[in-house]
A and B are shown apart, each in its own frame.
Chain A
Amino acid sequence: DSGVTQTPKHLITATGQRVTLRCSPRSGDLSVYWYQQSLDQGLQFLIQYYNGEERAKGNILERFSAQQFPDLHSELNLSSLELGDSALYFCASSGLDWGEAFFGQGTRLTVV
């Protein structure tokens, strides 16, 4: 158990819809990261938040957004969903060493 909790574990939704994925980081970790893993691609970094502020952006689509709340949990919002957005979405958190990240078990999103 990494200490990072992601909900829901599975999500099935239709094209055009909007969903919210939730992440609770390890206790005390200020950094939260979101990654996407599609079947035909590796782990793609989407975005990082540090203590409530956006810190770094990766290959995140404009239809996607995220935020980190004062209690440090984070949400990833995916809108106008397309079939190609079907993937595993991982959240990770880290303390002082951003290289030592702890990943949740992921949310498997299926867009039909």
Chain B
Amino acid sequence: DAKTTQPPSMDCAEGRAANLPCNHSTISGNEYVYWYRQIHSQGPQYIIHGLKNNETNEMASLIITEDRKSSTLILPHATLRDTAVYYCIVRPSNNAGNMLTFGGGTRLMVKP
């Protein structure tokens, strides 16, 4: 898996957009960017993934730069329940390749 770099922690005001960055400068052409989050001691939760186009679902938006060397996960209106550790992972999107490898992630604190 390509290595990812994320800031260890971020704060966000409730109701504002939370923008979580991730650098993946060594990403390969067949590797997707996946985002997961883990709310305190719960099982990690899949959020979204993408290859090169921007993606949006009911939870978040994923913006990938044109050179694919970095991406940003956007939570449009953060709530207190979005406080969690967010993990950015790159891997092929198929039933092959390496397992999901979780790094340190970004600890997002949403404050009232």
Interface residues of A (CB under 8 A from B): 2, 4, 31, 33, 35, 42-43, 45, 48, 50, 56, 58, 88, 90, 92, 96-106, 108
Contact = CB atoms under 8 A, between A and B. Distances in A.
B95 A33 contact: no
A45 B49 contact: no
Given A96-B94, A100-B46, 15 more contacts: A4-B43, A42-B102, A42-B104, A45-B100, A58-B99, A90-B43, A92-B44, A97-B95, A98-B91, A98-B94, A102-B46, A103-B44, A103-B45, A104-B43, A106-B41
Interface of B: 32, 34, 38, 41-46, 49, 89, 91-105
A99 B33 CA distance: 9
Contacts, number: 65
15 contacts: A33-B100, A42-B104, A45-B100, A45-B101, A50-B95, A92-B44, A92-B100, A98-B96, A99-B32, A99-B92, A99-B93, A102-B46, A104-B43, A105-B43, A106-B41
Closest 3 CB pairs of A and B: A103-B43, A43-B102, A45-B99
Instruction: Give the most central of B44, B49, B102: most A CB within 10 Å.
Output: B44
B106 to A, nearest CB: 13
B91 A2 contact: no
Contacts of B100: 33, 45, 92, 98-99, 101
Interface of A is mostly: strand
B57 to A, nearest CB: 12
A92 B92 CA distance: 18
A24 B110 CA distance: 33
Contacts of A56: 98-99
